[in-house]
Amino acid sequence: MRNKYALFWIWMFLLPLAFDYKGGETGSKVIQILLVLPSVAAGLVLVLLAPRITRRSRLRRFVTAALMLTIAGSAVTQLLQGNDIGNYLRVLLPFLLLLLGYFVGCHPWNQERVEQIEKVMFWSMVVSLVFSFAYGMATGGGLENVRFRIVSVTFLCLQGLLLHEFVVAKRMTKFTVALFLATIVIELLSVTRSLLVGTVLLFVFATWIASPSLRHMLKAGARAAMIGVLLGAMAFASAAFFPSVAEHWAQRIFASTETTSGRDPTTITRLAEMKDQYDQTTSSAVSLLAGKGYGHNYHYSPAYLPYLAGQMTAKDFYAIKEWAAGHNFWVYQFFAGGVLFGIGLPAAVLWALYRGAMAYRAWRRRAPDVLFLPVLGRALMVLAALPATSVGGNPLGNRFSGLVFGIALGLLVASFSRIAHAMRMRTAANAAMHGPVYGAAPQGSWPYEEPREMLPPSYAGAAAPRLRQHEHEDERGEPPGGASTIAPPA
């Protein structure tokens, strides 16, 4: 459905929560309402405006079922465990925003609307990056304190989009290069090792999906090595200009050598948290099946107290009591939902990433100009930031990140389904017009497409759908459909 106010609703859906900030739960409730309500209202309007889904897709069906199982199951667990209702709703909200973002993104929007959604999402993440850095610097203090506040909750999502531009699409503009360098500077100032690991993982993932063959892999690897050398040189230059930052990095890297136990204290506290969550979940048959619920209290496992000798007293250790989403996404999902309701969301994310990435590599080799293929690639890079972020924290512990990951998951599912359908219909139409070709792949054998039984009964006589934006785009010199960059050329 066309609506002249759709772009306004897209901005209202994504922009308000870009101004969300860490520690917001202890701030004014009015500010929280002003951030959340416009986004939720705009998302509901977009779901009503979205085109109808007319084709079945196994991937869409699986992901939707997994998300609904997670959200509906959380209500069942809440009834069983009786957690504080306020804590439950606060922890569940990012997951509800993920579900809402998914429902917005998984519909078959036209090409212009998809481009608008992607660009608004990009600019919202840029706003979040700038706002988080400015807010953190203004309210922080010394580097030891400010480093926790200056990193946007969608930091790796933005880096994933930029890496798609550089590594996959091979497009570099002054703006995107400057923006990526700014993210590296913030990453260095934050002195956060997990962020650095996440950037490396996204870099490797971008190189892999951009290389459908060995020849492409070698070329992409050489290009990645050059970019890596430049980033390394920039890191050394930053260390020379900011010796205090280099000193903090040295302390973080060699933290284990300065402790009595010889163990890194940050790693130990994360393991202690996960061990307590696991022990609580497996303590009874009910919690093993249904979990302890979102917002349930957890502590540090006493088994790790000896490793924190000299770092934390026993009194402080046992005083730890948390209810927010834990630092590990995978263990916390099991803790919150158990076997029945906790595995669905991680399974949906991993399966969508696997199916989308394998299909993207195959289609990039066989039909690189296919419509919506660049959209699939960008959605893959944003969604891949979820497991990359989980190296050091729970990416769904924040509202804005939940919204962005939901949209990325929806765009991935929608693009995958549309490309697979176009490939099937083109193969069927060619077979109907020219007859079977000796040695050709049989109908329904395109890699990673939906099964043949999903085709409508009249598929054999249907005209081949457009795989490109223009039938003569090569002669017209125009880019393939959906391949426009997300950032301005300046």
User: Is residue 339 a part of any domain in this protein?
Assistant: yes
* 475 three-state secondary structure: helix
- Give mean pLDDT, residues 126-151: 83
Across 26-30, 98-102, 395-399, least confident range: 26-30
| 8 Å CB contact between 389 and 449 | no
d(CA 477, CA 263): 59
pTM of the model: 0.86
- Give mean pLDDT, residues 292-308: 92
d(CA 293, CA 333): 9
Residue with more model confidence, 481 or 207:
207
User: Is residue 306 a part of any domain in this protein?
Assistant: no
User: Is residue 432 a part of any domain in this protein?
Assistant: no
Task: List CB contacts of 343: < 8 A, sequence separation 6 or more.
Answer: 333, 334, 337
| 8 Å CB contact between 108 and 51 | yes
- Give mean pLDDT, residues 151-177: 92
Instruction: Give pLDDT tens digits for 382-391.
Output: 999 999 999 8
What pLDDT does residue 480 have?
42
- Give mean pLDDT, residues 467-474: 42
Structure-block tokens of residue 445: 């054998």
| Closest-CA residue to 362 (of 370, 430, 485) | 370
Instruction: Give pLDDT tens digits for 345-373.
Output: 999 999 999 999 999 999 988 888 888 99
d(CA 221, CA 204): 9
- Give mean pLDDT, residues 135-144: 76
What pLDDT does residue 302 have?
92
Question: Which of 210-214, 260-264, 437-441 is the most confident on average?
Answer: 210-214
d(CA 400, CA 36): 9
- Give mean pLDDT, residues 425-450: 57
Residue with more model confidence, 139 or 118:
118
d(CA 446, CA 440): 11
Domain of residue 372: give its range.
6-253+329-420
User: Is residue 285 a part of any domain in this protein?
Assistant: no
What pLDDT does residue 271 have?
92
Q: What is the chain's Cα-based Rg?
A: 24
Residue with more model confidence, 300 or 225:
300
Residue 471's pLDDT band (cuts 50, 70, 90): very low
Instruction: Give pLDDT tens digits for 107-123.
Output: 999 999 999 999 999 99
Task: List CB contacts of 96: < 8 A, sequence separation 6 or more.
Answer: 71, 402
Helices (H), 301-398: 314-319, 329-341, 344-366, 373-389
d(CA 357, CA 354): 5
Residue with more model confidence, 326 or 236:
326
User: Is residue 287 a part of any domain in this protein?
Assistant: no
Domain count, the chain: 1
- Give mean pLDDT, residues 372-396: 94
- Give mean pLDDT, residues 253-271: 71
Q: With b meaning 16 or more CB within 10 Å and e meaning fewer, what string describes 341-360?
A: bbbbbbbbbeebbebbbebb
User: Is residue 376 a part of any domain in this protein?
Assistant: yes
User: Is residue 416 a part of any domain in this protein?
Assistant: yes
